[in-house]
Amino acid sequence: MESDMNISREEAMYISRVCWYKFKKMAKLALYTPFVVCLASGTLENDTFLSFLGQDNYYYKAFAKACEAAEKYTDDDDAKYAIRDLQRNATKEFQIQDSFLQEWDADIGTKCALNPVTLRFTEFLKATASGKIEGVSAEKFETEFERTKLPAYIFGAMIPCIRLYANLGKELLMFLQGNPTHQYRIIIRNYASESLEELAKKNEKLLDKLSITLTTHELSIVEKLYQKAMEIEVGFLLGQPLDQKCVIPLSREHNLDEERLVIFFKFDSTCSVVDSSAILAEMTIVSAQKSDDNQPKNKPENESENQPENQPENQPENQPENQPENQPENQPENQVVRLLSEVVKSTWDDIGKDYTDEYEQCINTLLLTHEKAEKLDYERLCIALEQLSDFEKRANTRVSESGVLRGLRLDEIKRVGELMVLQDGCKNFFQSIIKNEQLNADIHALSCCWCSDLIRSAFSSDGLDVVNVHANEFIFEENLSTGVIVKKVEGPFDKVQTFSEVLSNYNNDKKNLTVHIGGTMNDLLCLLQADIGILINPGPNLVGVGNHFGISFIPLYRGIIEKQKTYAKKDSTSWNKLSGVLYTVSSWAEIHMFIQGSIYTD
């Protein structure tokens, strides 16, 4: 998860705020570690919990030594006092944690050996406090003046741990509601306490104070240390020894010989940053502008008075009935002709406006003509979505018949596809699936995109060419598009039919576990038919229609915790299609952790 390390002087006043803003997504991934899932669900085995708490002693010693170094090197008396005060508060927090240990097992602190993942953090903090910082020359801290910058670096490396646990506590509080017997309620409430939040804020305020005199480059070092510390801390939670079954990651219990993971996903906006239709529209406009540039700048003297200004000089006044508009009379019949740029822009404006207006009308009609369901009514949902399907087909026909897609070069489409920007974490997720040799998985893009070549090109590099693409296609003549769309996937029924056909083509030698990742109304049927349907930031229209037909949308993490409770009791879990429940996430990173369980970095 790379960040922009360029920090302005204004941001330097609140470097702690900048760092947390940039890396709080990484902190959220800690929720998806098996250890935290078991903790939140109340199913974590006692020995594992005690082993975790037993590492606190090593953390505390590392923090104490780091604070001593920070106090030693700062030349600010107020900062020295603040560091001593923070150390006292940190000692109190440690004593609270230690009291939990005493209640459970008085000797656990001496029994617990230093965990390798704990060692990674303590060594990192020790190295930072001694000036051994990656990317910084050791000679930099030879002078007393340069060593005064070490306290800022030390706190940049210390704070993520405190901030992460304060944040985790708040996130996990909801799982205590209605569960007064949750065996880890005390530790969760302690993490969510005002005292820990106050400790985190005081540390952050001190970091801001210590960083105020740093240069832009030195501030970037603080940020890198903060990022590294957050990665190590998430890794610490991920690396906790867990001798029990956990519902995540999905890949953990995957049987290579007996199971097959089939991942379907929507491409536009779910995977791509910009919708493919907008990209293709922009390409036609640019192409038309180039065509305009090749037109004569001045009208010939003998040009007819009533001939359109932008008409080619050899264009007759009355075109043959079947000849494309703006085509010169000597144009070969099979050669594709581009429309003029003004016509293209105007046509796209009209198409876009018509689509938006009719879509809203379609959704409103759909809701008004069907009664609200209390639970999933798949049959009535299908009937309702026929209106949407018909609308999508009319919209595609309008685009195809307009001719605006004529004249696009296949090689240019592929080049643009290769340069497409994908959503943060999307490419990393698919790469991790492909590289995982312990996972028998296939990946399928189900898309209403007009041109499948654009999608294939987007996945043509970085080992992603194995992604199967199911979408519409252009017809090309001598490398130029004719403007005709070969319609294969136009709406919800085409998508779910393709979904079913893909699964039916597999042999019955393995059990399929299906995951569909979507984000629009056209994905609804596939999302419900999949064992696990996931939506990334679903819009209000989708949620509104879904709720109307009895679909529940719940955060994926909450669903995982509920599954873990069942898993712990029955020693088995199942994800079922047509359950009426769809899961929501805010990023691909959550999906990555849910399925793969590895630390997500992009």
User: What positions carry a catalytic annotation?
Assistant: 161, 233
- Among 404, 487, 422, which residue's Cα sits nearest to residue 459? 422
Does 324 sit behind a cis peptide bond, omega within 30 degrees of 0 on the bond before it? no
| Alpha carbon of residue 167 to chain centroid | 20
Q: Evaluate whether 548 touches 529 at the Cβ level (below 8 Å).
A: no
CA 395, CA 471: separation in Å to the nearest integer? 16
Alpha carbons within 13 angstroms on the beta-carbon side of residue 49 total 24
CA 433, CA 437: separation in Å to the nearest integer? 9
User: In which element (H, E) is residue 553 found?
Assistant: strand 552-555
Q: Evaluate whether 485 touches 470 at the Cβ level (below 8 Å).
A: no
Q: List Cα–Cα distances, 142 to 132, 137, 146, 150, 222, in angstroms.
A: 12, 10, 7, 12, 19
- Among 530, 30, 529, 485, which residue's Cα sits nearest to residue 235? 30
Residues 6 or more apart in contact with residue 4 via CB below 8 angstroms: 22
Phi-psi region of 8 (alpha: psi -120 to 50; beta: other; left: phi over 0): beta
Residues in the chain: 602
